[in-house]
Amino acid sequence: MWFYLLDFILGIAFGFFHRGKEDRMGILRNGAIAGLVIGIIFVLMSMFLVPEAVGLDVGFLGIFGIFIDILIYVIIFVIGSLVGDWLEGLLRK
């Protein structure tokens, strides 16, 4: 659960500090790439540091469950980056 929250906060920071509100596709593309990297890191950290406290229990699905978990991290990061971009538009006007 904490890794999902950290992923969302990092996504907000990424979207807030990324220049240009009009470049939504660039934010989505870069957010998906950064979210993929962060997702892989967080899945590995959650598997080895706290294996009993995985956020969504998709471990029973094996390697497919790991891909689902990484995809969830990517989606959360992209949503966070869009929220950060929206906050940047509100605060910088």
pLDDT in tens, 73-87: 899 999 999 899 888
DSSP string, 13-65: HHHHHSS-SS-HHHHHHHHHHHHHHHHHHHHHHHHHT-GGG-SS--GGGTHHH
Structural domain including 78 reads 2-91
Report the chain's mean pLDDT, rounded to a whole number: 80
pLDDT in tens, 40-70: 888 888 777 776 655 555 556 667 777 888 8
For the record, the structure tokens of 39 come out as 């997702």
Domain total in the chain: 1
What pLDDT, on the 0 to 100 scale, is given for residue 3?
A: 81
What pLDDT, on the 0 to 100 scale, is given for residue 20?
A: 63
In the chain, what percentage of residues exceed pLDDT 70?
81
* Of residues 57, 76, 58, the one with CA closest to residue 67: 58
